[in-house]
């Protein structure tokens, strides 16, 4: 909202005077108004792409007819009767024009406009200034104390001046004005959008996508070419491993019979060329027609052309990356940086991502799978293919990828939002990362005690050969018995045998020793015999306790049986080996004699145990 102009105040004052009761006062007021109206003239500030133009309004009464004002600007002659050019300040270059236009768009008073207003308008302070922007009028009034007017009539006047600008402004041809208008429009739009033709990341997104597609197509074509020509000359694919050299060789050779008279020195080294010629003489391939060879050669031409175009596209992508994101290119390389920009959509979108997102960008599937299964999240995505991550050990890849993502996020923001186009920050950050990488790699071999700065000295290796002797004690599963214990057991056995012999001669006191003689029998006897011997011994002991007369009669009857039992004990004295054998279970002895039938023995013992339980 603007205050009323001095002219409007005067008009209101005159109207009040005219409506007063005193006719004389009303007549004086109207006369005063007409005099002031003759003296006060209006100036018009008109901005063009070439400079500032100040017009003087010749007939202000026509401004009151807003609806029919356009008729006064139908021709240049009519327009010259309404306004007249008073002063024109031309811009020196496009930079000055851009600065002036930018200041007017932001509602500020530029240096060039301030200079013009002081030079022209300030001389006639009583004149009004018609402007198109009310905000600019307020600034001019504050700084230069000039009365500014902005109304629908002024807007219609500006429209008419713009239509007849070529006839009103002399000294400027129409072609020059149009060229300056176009240049200023482009410069202003670039400034408002902060646009730079060198920073069009759309070209990078399309280039890296095309590069990936070319790699896939090249692989398919080369595989088809190798398989196709392999029917005719299969040995060539094993000798030449480079794909481009293979296609060039096939294109030059054609039929394998031509190899002997063909010079391949411009494609292959001498050793490989000699090997190819030798393999062609003893090749196992089949014969093919000339039409087949022609199609194979046409496919080789396609592979060679696509390879050349791919190298050209890679150079283009490298140059564009250095122009758009030089710091990111220094940090991670051209291909990885381009893939990051392509994955995010644009360089500005990538700059909005934090470092943690940049680190795992490209591994979204693995991230969500890890979150769903509650496992460890991935440590790296596309950034894994960077040279710094690739040259580290597997132990430090996670640390380096995290640090590289943090520095790359800063480089991306600097490239996207900064004004400088140099790569100094990227070079400094890469040097820091390389120093950190060296520290992590050398950390494991540094000395723990002392200053920790010097590398640890490794002792000279000395081979020590220890001759180990075989210990046979681990072969047997029997409990170990010392020699002294074995001798004592043998002596006790002999002492037990002596009283048995004496008892055999003296038949009177043999009842307590019968049980001892029976215990010396081997354990292989059946349980039934043991039970019978126990039953016989019990009544004998009872009889001895009852009467001595009965004992003598019964002993005489059983002398023959006792003599038969004592005789084998006398004939076969117990040896220490047999005693050890009696200590061993039957299953272990059987295993030593026949290890293969151990399983059968176990099954038979299980069956016996079941029968006993039943």
Distance between CA 232 and CA 367 in Å, rounded? 49
What per-residue confidence (pLDDT) applies to 300? 95
pLDDT bin (cut points 50, 70, 90) of residue 26 is: very low
Pick 490 or 542 by higher pLDDT.
490
Q: Give SS3 for 283.
A: coil
Instruction: List, in order, residues 6 or more apart from 582 with CB less than 8 Å away.
Output: 522, 523
Pick 462 or 129 by higher pLDDT.
129
Question: 207 and 151, same structural domain?
Answer: no
Q: Provide the β-strand partners of residue 148.
A: 129
> Is this prediction's pTM over 0.75?
no
For residue 269, the enclosing domain spans 201-310
Question: 211 and 189, same structural domain?
Answer: no
Q: Which helix (H) or strand (E) holds 258?
A: none
Highest mean predicted confidence (pLDDT) among 173-177, 200-204, 255-259, 519-523: 255-259
What per-residue confidence (pLDDT) applies to 89? 83
Distance between CA 473 and CA 178 in Å, rounded? 111
Last residue of one domain, picked from the residues 310, 327, 351: 310
Tokens matching residue 460: 């000279």
Out of 187-196, 297-306, 369-378, 400-409, which region has the weakest mean confidence (pLDDT)? 187-196
Establish if 92 belongs to a structural domain. yes
What per-residue confidence (pLDDT) applies to 451? 53
Q: Provide the β-strand partners of residue 53.
A: 46, 88
Average pLDDT over residues 576-592: 49
CB atoms within 10 A of CB 80: 14
The pLDDT > 90 percentage for the chain reads 32
Whole-angstrom CA distances from 460 to 58, 409, 445, 452 are 107, 47, 16, 21
Q: What angle do CA 535, 539, 540 make, to 5 degrees?
A: 110
pLDDT surpasses 80 at 441: yes
Question: 170 and 290, same structural domain?
Answer: no
What per-residue confidence (pLDDT) applies to 555? 59
Q: What is the tens place of the pLDDT at every residue in 37-53?
A: 444 467 888 888 888 88
pLDDT surpasses 60 at 542: no
Handedness of CA 130, 131, 132, 134 (dihedral sign): negative
Tokens matching residue 583: 């200590």
Tokens matching residue 354: 């934090």
Distance between CA 7 and CA 381 in Å, rounded? 72
Highest mean predicted confidence (pLDDT) among 10-14, 119-123, 138-142, 285-289: 285-289
Out of 34-38, 70-74, 280-284, 420-424, which region has the weakest mean confidence (pLDDT)? 34-38
Tokens matching residue 323: 């122009």
Pick 104 or 21 by higher pLDDT.
104
Last residue of one domain, picked from the residues 441, 476, 501: 441
Which among 124, 114, 99, 141 has a CA at the least distance from the CA of 2? 141
Count how many residues are written for the chain: 614
Cβ–Cβ < 8 Å for 324, 348:
no
Establish if 355 belongs to a structural domain. yes
What per-residue confidence (pLDDT) applies to 511? 43
Question: 249 and 321, same structural domain?
Answer: no
What per-residue confidence (pLDDT) applies to 564? 55
| Surface-to-core class of residue 260, CB atoms within 10 Å of its CB (0-12 exposed, 13-18 middle, 19+ buried) | exposed
Instruction: List, in order, residues 6 or more apart from 329 with CB less than 8 Å away.
Output: 321, 322, 337, 423, 426
Which among 34, 42, 61 has a CA at the least distance from the CA of 126? 42
pLDDT surpasses 80 at 531: no
Cβ–Cβ < 8 Å for 404, 328:
no
What per-residue confidence (pLDDT) applies to 272? 92
Establish if 614 belongs to a structural domain. no
Cβ–Cβ < 8 Å for 418, 321:
no
pLDDT bin (cut points 50, 70, 90) of residue 24 is: very low
Highest mean predicted confidence (pLDDT) among 11-15, 165-169, 280-284, 419-423: 280-284
Establish if 582 belongs to a structural domain. no
Question: 182 and 255, same structural domain?
Answer: no
Question: 299 and 210, same structural domain?
Answer: yes
Highest mean predicted confidence (pLDDT) among 72-76, 160-164, 282-286: 282-286
Average pLDDT over residues 514-536: 54
Domain CATH code at residue 235: 1.10.287.4070
What per-residue confidence (pLDDT) applies to 144? 80
Question: 378 and 298, same structural domain?
Answer: no
Question: 336 and 271, same structural domain?
Answer: no
pLDDT bin (cut points 50, 70, 90) of residue 506 is: very low
Q: Provide the β-strand partners of residue 99.
A: none
Average pLDDT over residues 431-457: 70
Question: 284 and 168, same structural domain?
Answer: no
Tokens matching residue 327: 């710091």
pLDDT bin (cut points 50, 70, 90) of residue 179 is: confident
Domain CATH code at residue 420: 1.10.246.90
**Site of tokens 């402007």:** 131
What per-residue confidence (pLDDT) applies to 426? 93
Distance of CA 361 to the CA centre of its chain: 5
Out of 123-127, 288-292, 375-379, 450-454, which region has the weakest mean confidence (pLDDT)? 450-454
Tokens matching residue 198: 């060198």
What per-residue confidence (pLDDT) applies to 91? 85
Maximum separation of any 2 CA atoms in the chain, in Å: 191
Establish if 382 belongs to a structural domain. yes
Out of 356-370, 541-555, 592-606, which region has the weakest mean confidence (pLDDT)? 541-555
Q: What angle do CA 101, 107, 108 make, to 5 degrees?
A: 80
Q: Give SS3 for 49.
A: coil
Out of 2-6, 255-259, 420-424, which region has the weakest mean confidence (pLDDT)? 2-6
Establish if 602 belongs to a structural domain. no
pLDDT surpasses 60 at 336: yes
pLDDT surpasses 70 at 31: no
Q: Provide the β-strand partners of residue 275.
A: none
Establish if 284 belongs to a structural domain. yes
pLDDT bin (cut points 50, 70, 90) of residue 30 is: very low
CB atoms within 10 A of CB 538: 11
Pick 500 or 485 by higher pLDDT.
485
pLDDT bin (cut points 50, 70, 90) of residue 522 is: very low
Domain CATH code at residue 139: 3.30.420.220
Q: What is the tens place of the pLDDT at every residue in 374-419?
A: 999 999 999 999 999 999 999 999 999 999 999 999 999 999 888 7
pLDDT bin (cut points 50, 70, 90) of residue 61 is: confident
Out of 179-183, 281-285, 486-490, 580-584, which region has the weakest mean confidence (pLDDT)? 580-584
- Transcribe 567-580 into DSSP letters: HHHHHSPPPHHHHH
Q: Give SS3 for 455.
A: strand
Question: 262 and 241, same structural domain?
Answer: yes
What per-residue confidence (pLDDT) applies to 21? 38
Last residue of one domain, picked from the residues 410, 441, 472: 441
Which among 552, 454, 568, 465 has a CA at the least distance from the CA of 506? 552
Establish if 566 belongs to a structural domain. no
Question: 231 and 135, same structural domain?
Answer: no
pLDDT bin (cut points 50, 70, 90) of residue 299 is: very high
Q: How many CA atoms lie within 13 A of 70 on its CB side?
A: 6
| Mean pLDDT, all residues of the chain | 75
pLDDT surpasses 70 at 538: no
Average pLDDT over residues 564-590: 49
Pick 275 or 463 by higher pLDDT.
275
What per-residue confidence (pLDDT) applies to 39? 45
Question: 266 and 179, same structural domain?
Answer: no
Tokens matching residue 237: 């694919």
Whole-angstrom CA distances from 59 to 34, 323, 389, 588 are 14, 57, 78, 137
Strand 83-90: give its sheet, edge to edge. 83-90, 51-57, 42-47, 128-130, 148-149
Q: What is the tens place of the pLDDT at every residue in 62-77?
A: 777 777 787 888 888 8
Instruction: List, in order, residues 6 or more apart from 77 with CB less than 8 Å away.
Output: none
The pLDDT > 70 percentage for the chain reads 64
Q: How many structural domains is the chain composed of?
A: 3
What per-residue confidence (pLDDT) applies to 176? 81
Whole-angstrom CA distances from 135 to 108, 131, 286, 426, 486 are 8, 10, 88, 44, 124
Tokens matching residue 217: 């197509």
Helical ranges in 523-575 per DSSP H:
527-546, 548-557, 559-571
């Amino acid at each position: 909202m603007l205050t009323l102009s001095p002219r409007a105040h005067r008009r209101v004052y005159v109207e009040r005077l005219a409506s007063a009761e005193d006719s004389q006062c009303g007549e004086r007021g109207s006369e005063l108004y007409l005099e002031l109206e003759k003296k006060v003239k209006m100036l018009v500030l008109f901005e063009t792409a070439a400079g500032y133009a100040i017009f003087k309004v010749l007939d202000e009464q026509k401004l009151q007819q807003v609806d029919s004002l356009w008729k006064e600007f139908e021709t240049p002659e009519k327009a010259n009767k309404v306004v007249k050019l008073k002063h024109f300040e031309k811009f020196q270059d496009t930079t000055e024009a851009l600065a002036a236009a930018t200041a007017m768009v932001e509602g500020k008073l530029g240096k060039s406009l301030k200079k013009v207003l002081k030079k022209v308008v300030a001389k006639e302070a009583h004149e009004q200034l018609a402007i198109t922007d009310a905000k600019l009028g307020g600034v001019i009034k504050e700084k230069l104390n000039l009365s500014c007017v902005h109304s629908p009539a002024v807007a219609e006047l500006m429209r008419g001046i713009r239509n007849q600008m070529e006839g009103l402004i002399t000294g400027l041809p129409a072609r020059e004005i149009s060229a300056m208008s176009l240049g200023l429009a482009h410069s202003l739009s670039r400034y408002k959008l902060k646009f730079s033709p060198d920073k069009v990341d759309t070209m990078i997104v399309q280039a890296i996508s095309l590069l990936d597609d070319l790699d896939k197509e090249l692989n398919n074509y080369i595989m088809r070419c190798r398989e196709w020509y392999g029917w005719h000359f299969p040995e060539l694919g094993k000798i030449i491993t480079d794909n481009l050299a293979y296609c060039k060789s096939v294109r030059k050779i054609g039929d394998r019979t031509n190899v002997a008279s063909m010079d391949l020195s411009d494609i292959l080294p001498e050793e490989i060329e000699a090997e190819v010629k030798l393999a062609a003489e003893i090749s196992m391939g089949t014969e093919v027609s000339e039409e087949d060879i022609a199609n194979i050669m046409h496919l080789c031409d396609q592979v060679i052309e696509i390879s050349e175009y791919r190298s050209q596209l890679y150079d283009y992508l490298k140059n564009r990356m250095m122009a758009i994101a030089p710091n990111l290119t220094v940090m991670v390389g051209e291909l990885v940086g381009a893939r990051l920009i392509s994955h995010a959509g644009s360089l500005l979108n990538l700059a909005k991502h934090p470092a943690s997102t940049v680190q795992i960008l490209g591994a979204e599937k693995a991230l969500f799978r890890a979150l769903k299964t509650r496992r460890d999240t991935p440590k790296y995505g596309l950034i894994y293919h960077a040279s710094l991550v690739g040259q580290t050990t597997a132990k430090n890849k996670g640390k380096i990828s995290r640090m590289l993502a943090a520095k790359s996020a800063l480089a991306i923001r600097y490239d996207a939002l900064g004004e400088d186009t140099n790569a100094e920050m990227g070079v400094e950050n890469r040097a820091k990362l390389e120093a950190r990488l060296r520290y992590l790699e050398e950390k494991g071999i540094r000395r723990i005690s002392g200053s920790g700065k010097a590398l640890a000295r490794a002792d000279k290796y000395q081979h020590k050969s220890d001759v180990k002797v075989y210990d046979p004690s681990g072969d047997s599963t029997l409990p170990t018995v010392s020699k002294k214990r074995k001798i004592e057991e043998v002596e006790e056995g002999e002492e037990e045998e002596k009283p048995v012999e004496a008892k055999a001669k003296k038949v009177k006191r043999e009842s307590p020793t019968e049980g001892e003689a029976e215990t010396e029998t081997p354990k292989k006897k059946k349980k039934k015999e043991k039970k019978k011997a126990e039953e016989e011994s019990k009544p004998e002991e009872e009889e001895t306790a009852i009467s001595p007369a009965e004992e003598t009669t019964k002993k005489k009857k059983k002398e023959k049986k006792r003599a038969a039992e004592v005789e084998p004990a006398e004939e076969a004295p117990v040896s220490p080996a047999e005693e050890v054998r009696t200590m061993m279970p039957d299953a272990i002895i059987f295993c030593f004699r026949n290890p293969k039938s151990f399983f059968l023995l176990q099954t038979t013992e299980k069956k016996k145990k079941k029968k006993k339980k039943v």
